[in-house]
Structure 1
């Protein structure tokens, strides 16, 4: 299935000028990969721009990691082509491709110092000792670990080991850096910190990053664009805002964030439109049932009962059941009307703007 190519929103003007004519860092055409009778990748067409932070998002088995391995050359394509910088590398070996991969398991050499770990790839390429150590030290400075070059990997924290793996990749100055869930082994606080550092590093280096993750928040936080995968195909391609605010299908709406899905019959009754719709929980507004009044022309109002409230720190996730049995979820900020106690059983008015109900494409 063909995907339109658009430049990332936050690239500088000179990088996006004439983007339609620019040679992409990565171009995939008709990419297919079969494992026996299973189509792990099923006809992927994709352009990734030079200098873009691009994420491939999807659950386990959706095909995203296989696409990454096809780009890296660790798997051979059943059909289709892989181009890097306009050159067809479909049949090329991994070492013949101007890419480097950072895995979730950083695979650092435990018997080597941090500096020697970073310099290893340059050593394999035959670079002299003094030059490769200088380049490795510069890479460590880039990831803010210049003072730890003499340590062994076992003496580092998880976040520091992750940065050493990044330094080992960027010291080779690849055109494309492939990252296969590199933050998955970190705890939540460290993962959030590394998300910020990773995005800053990518902007400083200007290297194309291709990031594979099943974590929707990670993809939304880091990416210029996201491809949402399912069953070996790209279900939607767009900016984080487009993916979240305008999901193309019920699958995308349900996978990327929490959403309220209104089937065609419910949409017809509430909106007068015979098509499935999605409404994000933060778009629902709650008020006491006593304030129920007739909805205006641009608004939908429903009477409901609170079935559960879940405290999230910044607010509450409120589960609701309308009088006609519709299950909804609302997100209330801590300053909202339902933030101070257990409100199960309370009768409330649920309101949302008709414009906040996003029409979804019918399932193929």
Structure 2
């Protein structure tokens, strides 16, 4: 992932009437990386994808692919393939014919397109289903057929518009693993649009978090999670406990806005006495009342109303050391380390 960017956007804007769907976005996507655009509905991420694909024309700004300005070029003139959430497979065609369709349009000879289509199906582990119809496949299999069809024409960029959104949770998690493996095997740039923050974090080399048509923060999954740059990113990417205004002054000791992730908080009955390996004495702490204790298998999510602050969530890993749930209404102290407090800036307006 070096050299000139595969995709370069400069001052890219798209207005629909008085609505700024995309507002002066600058972005470089590197060759061979798995890049995700993450954000809520209406944040502009899908519109950016459509501008890159050529399905929309920008109001202003430019789109470059592989160093060439393609802003005015039609979608079929751009060396990209797009995979949609609904897969858009032809129900009357076999799986093999669906995959080979793009080669057929490009005038590839029948024998060669059959060979290349079979190779593409082998890459997604579906060569055995070549003669089936799409209706005979599961949702995950249809998704892999769509990926094979997009990759068989050997694009330099694969654009994926929430392709896993229609799948159930277990299948979606399975497809996340397969999608990453497919991208590595193909060695091409993937640009992935999603509103699912866990999906973006688990798949991506880098993530751009969109808000109100702009990029709120760009970085690796670890950078976004560990060091969110704004209130919006801290609240949208994962779960954060946010402290602002008078709560920040009372609990953090500083003015401004701050966040602490739930897994960085600890619950103790006495914040001044260590227990075993717990060296909580001397750490910042706040008393509160247990509102709810929720067992989620690998962890227990405890909700606490602080006496001198907001309601916070604490994630206690299920390491077998505790056999009973926290009692609702019980008194507890929430403790943390200063290093786990992240200073934030307001979200972009």
With normalisation by structure 2, the TM-score equals: 0.95
Higher alpha-carbon deviation: 108-117 or 326-335: 326-335
Q: 1:311 aligns with which of 295, 301, 304?
A: 295
Aligned partners of 1:275, 1:336: CA distance in 2, in Å? Answer: 38
- Residue of structure 2 equivalent to 1:114: 95
CA contact (8 A) 2:247 2:309 kept: no
- Residue of structure 1 equivalent to 2:32: 51
Encode CA deviations 1:153-211: one digit per residue, 9 max, x unaligned: 01111110000000000001000000000001111111001000100111111110000
- Residue of structure 1 equivalent to 2:272: 293
SS in 1 for 2:336: strand
Instruction: Tell me whether 1:101 sits opposite 2:82 in the alignment.
Output: yes
Pair 1:264–1:217, CA change in 2 (3 A): same
Pair 1:236–1:210, CA change in 2 (3 A): same
Instruction: Tell me whether 1:322 sits opposite 2:334 in the alignment.
Output: no
CA contact (8 A) 2:267 2:335 kept: yes
Encode CA deviations 1:123-182: one digit per residue, 9 max, x unaligned: 000010000000000000000111110111011111100000000000010000000000
Higher alpha-carbon deviation: 311-320 or 262-271: 262-271
Deviation at 1:337, TM superposition (A): 6.9
SS in 1 for 2:117: helix
SS in 2 for 1:251: helix
Instruction: Tell me whether 1:359 sits opposite 2:343 in the alignment.
Output: yes
SS in 2 for 1:138: helix
Pair 1:202–1:363, CA change in 2 (3 A): closer
Deviation at 1:102, TM superposition (A): 0.1
CA contact (8 A) 1:41 1:66 kept: yes
- Residue of structure 1 equivalent to 2:286: 302
Deviation at 1:303, TM superposition (A): 1.1
- Residue of structure 1 equivalent to 2:163: 182
CA contact (8 A) 1:305 1:348 kept: yes
Q: Runs of 5+ in structure 1 lacking a partner?
A: 1-14
Cα-Cα RMSD: 1.4
Deviation at 1:316, TM superposition (A): 1.6
Deviation at 1:120, TM superposition (A): 0.3
CA contact (8 A) 2:265 2:336 kept: yes
Instruction: Tell me whether 1:140 sits opposite 2:121 in the alignment.
Output: yes
CA contact (8 A) 2:250 2:308 kept: no
- Residue of structure 2 equivalent to 1:7: none
- Residue of structure 1 equivalent to 2:244: 263
Count of residues in Structure 1 that have an aligned counterpart in Structure 2: 342
Encode CA deviations 1:272-313: one digit per residue, 9 max, x unaligned: 32221000000010122xx2328756x211111101112212
Deviation at 1:340, TM superposition (A): 2.4
Aligned partners of 1:243, 1:361: CA distance in 2, in Å? Answer: 14
Q: Runs of 5+ in structure 2 lacking a partner?
A: 274-279
CA contact (8 A) 2:44 2:214 kept: yes
Instruction: Tell me whether 1:281 sits opposite 2:230 in the alignment.
Output: no
- Residue of structure 2 equivalent to 1:238: 219
Aligned partners of 1:351, 1:342: CA distance in 2, in Å? Answer: 16
CA contact (8 A) 1:318 1:332 kept: yes
Deviation at 1:253, TM superposition (A): 0.3
Aligned partners of 1:265, 1:338: CA distance in 2, in Å? Answer: 34
SS in 1 for 2:303: strand
With normalisation by structure 1, the TM-score equals: 0.91
Pair 1:35–1:280, CA change in 2 (3 A): same
SS in 1 for 2:304: strand
Instruction: Tell me whether 1:129 sits opposite 2:113 in the alignment.
Output: no
- Residue of structure 2 equivalent to 1:341: 325
